[in-house]
Structure 1
């Protein structure tokens, strides 16, 4: 699948929103806020914005009135984004939200006309190289800052350790890089590919780690993440299915008992034209 074929459940987005909020780089958000004009309204385009979680996190950290345009193919998620808009901004002016059904594979400069800022969250790693380049070219044509949050980078740590951890992690990363009819997906290579492409276009690129840190308080999220992580690994490497079933049972029991800690590394990237 590519970004054009993935459907994310609203329940998953609700479950992960607090962990996403805790992980995103407040330093890069602060750097962005200082770069943006302090007066006048901001037009902010959120690519693959789903339920609007990025706006709910970022809007209070930015100055002035804001109009968020949330782009997604999923009409149900867009309804959620409009129904749960961001809270008022750091200095009080109102925030408005607009939903646009958009196929990101066909995104062009006209879709971002008048943008003061373009953002995306948990998007780059599900794109192929051609899709990523086309999206970034459309963004750089807008000549405005770009904040790309929560891209996986291929590092996962679980405590206590298990002998199968590394094998499942490697199979999952291979699944993230799998070939599709539209080309090979970038997966953990997306941040490096995006950084190289943007710097070649003359942009200033800053990055920060943005890891998920899941413990007893996030046991439900850890369990749901484990199910998806193991399922993808087994899809990539079917020989793992039997040992991975027992592994998943062990890990879910540990999570339910509050005895499992998980770190899933991501990176945030801020692009200043």
Structure 2
């Protein structure tokens, strides 16, 4: 059984999931995002360009995926509290945007809670990946307030949706999924995490402040090619469920052994449901 307290944002885990993340993200949100970004006026009458803040950037996979799909020039500000992850992210950003203009990146060590509307002044886009479900309701409210207060769109990808499908099925699947979802909603160091309830909370928070919100499904669809990712995900998923409901042992231990054997034989397929959200606040007065 894996340690459920092992950081899911360790570099090896983030590297392992990057290809699945890239395949899962909802590309249909890019068109309305690009239309909004192109329509934004240049700040203070200066040269046009995008300032993009990646919150909880990890190793920078969101930037590597998104920068080459948006026009430039772009200045990415990569935010994370972990200096090792910031080093990874800053060193591996693309150098050109979709239109061939330059992309540059700087790093900023700090916490999401430190950012308000004033900090986002001049920011073209806030983005994050696999972050919303790790936040509390108050933190989501603060994020929506900051983005809407700055008139800044937000693209928030790959939030856990609370549903997984494994094939072949197993009688213990539903009980483990329920326990895992409860673990995602746990209170951690005084913070009541939202887990799979985060998307609904974010939609409500942004819409209440007048933003247009678009939501799209972004599932992982994993098969034998992704056996290493399935194996690591299984250990973490079952470990978290077991930590939430210790009475599931020894069934959970036997379940994990069975599932890992199926994975090693190339016989296990997993669909992990996520949701992508694009929030488009009303432009600030004086903007288009």
TM over 0.5: yes
Give the drift of 1:143: 0.5
| Structure 1 residues 232 and 86: alpha-carbon distance in aligned structure 2, compared to 1, 3 A threshold | same
Name the residue aligned to 1:195.
203
The one of 188, 191, 197 aligned to 1:183: 191
Name the residue aligned to 1:230.
238
Name the residue aligned to 2:182.
174
| Structure with max Cα Rg | 2
Name the residue aligned to 1:147.
155
Name the residue aligned to 1:35.
36
Give the drift of 1:6: 5.9
Name the residue aligned to 1:97.
105
CA–CA separation in structure 2 for the residues paired with 1:252 and 1:60: 36
Residues 33 and 61, structure 1, Cα contact 8 Å, conserved in 2: no
Q: Name whichever of 47-56 and 174-183 sits farther off.
A: 174-183
Name the residue aligned to 1:262.
270
| Structure 1 residues 87 and 18: alpha-carbon distance in aligned structure 2, compared to 1, 3 A threshold | farther
The one of 251, 254, 258 aligned to 2:259: 251
Q: Does 1:137 align with 2:141?
A: no
Q: Does 1:46 align with 2:54?
A: yes
Q: Name whichever of 31-40 and 239-248 sits farther off.
A: 31-40
Q: SS of 1:255's equivalent? A: helix
CA–CA separation in structure 1 for the residues paired with 2:110 and 2:146: 14
Q: Does 1:60 align with 2:61?
A: no
What's the C-alpha RMSD, in Å, of the aligned pairs? 1.5
Residues 29 and 58, structure 1, Cα contact 8 Å, conserved in 2: no
Q: Normalized against structure 2, the TM-score is what?
A: 0.90
Residues 128 and 182, structure 1, Cα contact 8 Å, conserved in 2: no
Deviations 1:175-215 (A, max 9, x none): 01112343321000000000011100000000110000010
Q: SS of 1:118's equivalent? A: strand
Runs of at least 5 residues in structure 1 that lack an aligned partner in the other structure? none
CA–CA separation in structure 2 for the residues paired with 1:197 and 1:250: 42
Runs of at least 5 residues in structure 2 that lack an aligned partner in the other structure? 1-5, 40-46, 282-288
Residues 30 and 61, structure 1, Cα contact 8 Å, conserved in 2: no
Residues 109 and 139, structure 1, Cα contact 8 Å, conserved in 2: yes
Deviations 1:238-268 (A, max 9, x none): 1112111110011111111111000000000
Name the residue aligned to 1:11.
12
CA–CA separation in structure 1 for the residues paired with 2:8 and 2:164: 24
